[in-house]
Amino acid sequence: MENTNFIMRFLEWLMTFDRRALILAASAIGAGFAMIAGIGPGVGQGYAAGKGAEAVSYNPKSSKQATMIMLLGAAVAETSGILSLVIALIMLFANPLVNMSGAAIVVMASAIGAGLSMIAGIGPGIGQGYAAGKGTEMVGKRPKHQSAIVRTMFLGQAVAQTTGIYAMIIALILMFANPLVALL
Protein backbone atom coordinates (compact mmCIF):
# COMPACT_ATOMS: atom_id res chain seq x y z
CA MET A 1 0.00 0.00 0.00
CA GLU A 2 1.26 3.43 -0.82
CA ASN A 3 2.31 5.46 2.19
CA THR A 4 -0.33 8.16 2.56
CA ASN A 5 1.15 9.73 5.69
CA PHE A 6 2.23 13.15 4.48
CA ILE A 7 4.83 13.70 7.20
CA MET A 8 6.54 10.36 6.52
CA ARG A 9 6.57 11.07 2.80
CA PHE A 10 8.03 14.51 3.46
CA LEU A 11 10.77 13.06 5.68
CA GLU A 12 11.56 10.37 3.11
CA TRP A 13 11.76 13.05 0.44
CA LEU A 14 14.09 15.08 2.66
CA MET A 15 16.39 12.09 3.08
CA THR A 16 16.86 11.86 -0.68
CA PHE A 17 19.02 14.99 -0.44
CA ASP A 18 22.69 15.14 0.39
CA ARG A 19 23.43 15.50 4.15
CA ARG A 20 25.43 18.71 3.70
CA ALA A 21 22.72 20.28 1.55
CA LEU A 22 20.09 19.50 4.19
CA ILE A 23 22.10 21.11 6.99
CA LEU A 24 22.86 24.18 4.89
CA ALA A 25 19.19 24.56 3.97
CA ALA A 26 18.19 24.27 7.62
CA SER A 27 20.84 26.86 8.54
CA ALA A 28 19.34 29.25 6.01
CA ILE A 29 15.90 28.83 7.63
CA GLY A 30 17.48 29.19 11.09
CA ALA A 31 19.27 32.41 10.12
CA GLY A 32 16.00 33.81 8.80
CA PHE A 33 14.18 32.92 12.02
CA ALA A 34 16.93 34.49 14.12
CA MET A 35 16.55 37.78 12.28
CA ILE A 36 12.88 38.02 13.30
CA ALA A 37 14.23 39.21 16.68
CA GLY A 38 15.30 42.42 14.93
CA ILE A 39 11.64 43.53 15.11
CA GLY A 40 11.82 43.90 18.89
CA PRO A 41 14.33 46.76 19.28
CA GLY A 42 12.77 48.51 16.27
CA VAL A 43 9.34 48.59 17.89
CA GLY A 44 10.83 49.39 21.30
CA GLN A 45 12.96 52.28 20.08
CA GLY A 46 10.08 53.63 18.04
CA TYR A 47 7.88 53.58 21.13
CA ALA A 48 10.61 55.27 23.19
CA ALA A 49 11.05 57.99 20.57
CA GLY A 50 7.29 58.54 20.41
CA LYS A 51 7.08 58.90 24.17
CA GLY A 52 10.11 61.24 24.10
CA ALA A 53 8.41 63.47 21.58
CA GLU A 54 5.26 63.42 23.72
CA ALA A 55 7.21 64.27 26.88
CA VAL A 56 8.92 67.21 25.19
CA SER A 57 5.63 68.53 23.81
CA TYR A 58 4.12 68.45 27.34
CA ASN A 59 7.12 70.03 28.99
CA PRO A 60 9.58 71.65 26.55
CA LYS A 61 11.91 72.59 29.42
CA SER A 62 12.71 68.94 30.03
CA SER A 63 13.82 68.40 26.41
CA LYS A 64 17.49 67.77 27.22
CA GLN A 65 16.80 65.41 30.10
CA ALA A 66 14.21 63.46 28.09
CA THR A 67 16.56 63.11 25.10
CA MET A 68 19.40 61.89 27.29
CA ILE A 69 17.31 59.23 28.99
CA MET A 70 15.83 58.13 25.70
CA LEU A 71 19.31 57.90 24.19
CA LEU A 72 20.67 55.71 26.99
CA GLY A 73 17.51 53.59 27.16
CA ALA A 74 17.40 53.09 23.39
CA ALA A 75 21.11 52.16 23.29
CA VAL A 76 20.49 49.38 25.82
CA ALA A 77 17.32 48.25 23.98
CA GLU A 78 19.38 47.47 20.86
CA THR A 79 21.33 44.66 22.50
CA SER A 80 19.04 41.72 21.70
CA GLY A 81 18.87 42.76 18.04
CA ILE A 82 22.66 42.69 17.85
CA LEU A 83 22.81 39.27 19.52
CA SER A 84 20.34 37.80 17.02
CA LEU A 85 22.33 39.32 14.18
CA VAL A 86 25.49 37.66 15.51
CA ILE A 87 23.77 34.23 15.59
CA ALA A 88 22.31 34.68 12.08
CA LEU A 89 25.67 35.72 10.63
CA ILE A 90 27.51 32.86 12.35
CA MET A 91 24.98 30.48 10.78
CA LEU A 92 25.51 31.98 7.36
CA PHE A 93 29.25 32.54 7.25
CA ALA A 94 30.92 30.48 9.98
CA ASN A 95 28.52 27.58 10.31
CA PRO A 96 29.81 25.03 12.81
CA LEU A 97 26.97 22.58 12.08
CA VAL A 98 28.13 21.64 8.58
CA ASN A 99 31.04 19.63 9.91
CA MET A 100 29.17 18.20 12.89
CA SER A 101 28.90 14.41 12.99
CA GLY A 102 25.65 12.61 13.82
CA ALA A 103 22.26 12.09 12.21
CA ALA A 104 21.57 14.68 9.53
CA ILE A 105 18.03 15.32 10.70
CA VAL A 106 19.14 16.11 14.28
CA VAL A 107 21.80 18.56 13.11
CA MET A 108 19.32 20.09 10.68
CA ALA A 109 16.67 20.50 13.38
CA SER A 110 19.32 22.02 15.68
CA ALA A 111 20.05 24.67 13.06
CA ILE A 112 16.36 25.57 12.83
CA GLY A 113 16.02 25.39 16.62
CA ALA A 114 18.95 27.75 17.17
CA GLY A 115 17.29 30.27 14.88
CA LEU A 116 13.89 29.81 16.51
CA SER A 117 15.32 30.33 20.00
CA MET A 118 16.64 33.76 18.97
CA ILE A 119 13.07 34.94 18.29
CA ALA A 120 12.93 35.40 22.07
CA GLY A 121 14.96 38.56 21.42
CA ILE A 122 11.73 40.34 20.41
CA GLY A 123 10.67 40.34 24.07
CA PRO A 124 13.64 42.21 25.59
CA GLY A 125 13.72 44.57 22.61
CA ILE A 126 10.11 45.67 23.01
CA GLY A 127 10.23 45.54 26.81
CA GLN A 128 13.37 47.64 27.11
CA GLY A 129 12.04 50.13 24.58
CA TYR A 130 8.82 50.34 26.57
CA ALA A 131 10.81 50.98 29.77
CA ALA A 132 12.84 53.66 27.98
CA GLY A 133 9.63 55.28 26.70
CA LYS A 134 7.97 55.31 30.11
CA GLY A 135 11.17 56.58 31.76
CA THR A 136 11.35 59.42 29.27
CA GLU A 137 7.67 60.24 29.73
CA MET A 138 7.98 60.40 33.49
CA VAL A 139 11.13 62.54 33.41
CA GLY A 140 9.14 64.94 31.23
CA LYS A 141 6.43 65.06 33.88
CA ARG A 142 8.63 65.05 37.00
CA PRO A 143 12.17 66.19 36.14
CA LYS A 144 13.07 66.44 39.85
CA HIS A 145 12.91 62.65 40.27
CA GLN A 146 15.19 62.03 37.32
CA SER A 147 17.93 60.02 39.03
CA ALA A 148 15.46 57.64 40.71
CA ILE A 149 13.49 57.18 37.46
CA VAL A 150 16.64 56.49 35.44
CA ARG A 151 17.97 53.96 37.92
CA THR A 152 14.67 52.11 38.08
CA MET A 153 14.42 52.14 34.28
CA PHE A 154 17.87 50.62 33.88
CA LEU A 155 17.21 48.05 36.58
CA GLY A 156 14.11 46.96 34.65
CA GLN A 157 16.04 46.92 31.37
CA ALA A 158 18.87 44.86 32.84
CA VAL A 159 16.38 42.29 34.17
CA ALA A 160 14.47 42.26 30.85
CA GLN A 161 17.71 41.50 28.98
CA THR A 162 18.23 38.17 30.75
CA THR A 163 15.77 36.17 28.61
CA GLY A 164 17.49 37.40 25.47
CA ILE A 165 20.82 36.20 26.84
CA TYR A 166 19.30 32.81 27.77
CA ALA A 167 18.05 32.48 24.20
CA MET A 168 21.51 33.20 22.86
CA ILE A 169 23.09 30.66 25.20
CA ILE A 170 20.68 27.96 23.94
CA ALA A 171 21.40 28.92 20.33
CA LEU A 172 25.16 28.76 20.95
CA ILE A 173 24.85 25.37 22.73
CA LEU A 174 22.84 23.99 19.80
CA MET A 175 25.46 25.20 17.37
CA PHE A 176 28.77 24.63 19.14
CA ALA A 177 28.21 21.97 21.84
CA ASN A 178 25.13 20.11 20.71
CA PRO A 179 24.19 17.57 23.38
CA LEU A 180 21.46 15.95 21.21
CA VAL A 181 23.83 14.42 18.69
CA ALA A 182 25.55 12.37 21.40
CA LEU A 183 22.23 10.95 22.62
CA LEU A 184 21.60 8.92 19.48
Partner 1 sequence: MNSIGETQLKIIKGVLIVNSILGLISFFLVKPPMPFLTGLLFGTIISLLNFRLLSLTMKKAVEMQPHQAQVYATTRYMIRYFIIGMVLYISIKAEYIHVLGTVLGIITLKFVILKKELFNNKQYFKNIFKRKEAK
In the complex, the smallest distance separating the C-beta of residue 43 from partner 1, rounded to whole angstroms, is 7
Identity of the residue, 9 or 151, whose beta carbon is nearer to partner 1 in the bound complex: 151
In the complex, the smallest distance separating the C-beta of residue 108 from partner 1, rounded to whole angstroms, is 22
Identity of the residue, 15 or 148, whose beta carbon is nearer to partner 1 in the bound complex: 148
Residue 30: alpha-carbon gap to chain centroid: 12
In the complex, the smallest distance separating the C-beta of residue 164 from partner 1, rounded to whole angstroms, is 11
In the complex, the smallest distance separating the C-beta of residue 99 from partner 1, rounded to whole angstroms, is 16
Identity of the residue, 43 or 106, whose beta carbon is nearer to partner 1 in the bound complex: 43
- Nearest CA to 126 out of 169, 91, 181, 81 is that of 81
Q: 104-117 and 79-93 helices cross at what angle (nearest 10)? A: 160
Identity of the residue, 172 or 181, whose beta carbon is nearer to partner 1 in the bound complex: 172
Which chain residues interact with partner 1 by CB under 8 A?
38, 41-43, 45-57, 63-68, 70-72, 74-76, 78-79, 81-82, 85-86, 89-90, 93-94, 146-147, 150-151, 154-155, 157-158
Query: Is 90 within 8 Å of 174 (Cβ atoms)?
Result: no
In the complex, the smallest distance separating the C-beta of residue 120 from partner 1, rounded to whole angstroms, is 17
Identity of the residue, 26 or 66, whose beta carbon is nearer to partner 1 in the bound complex: 66
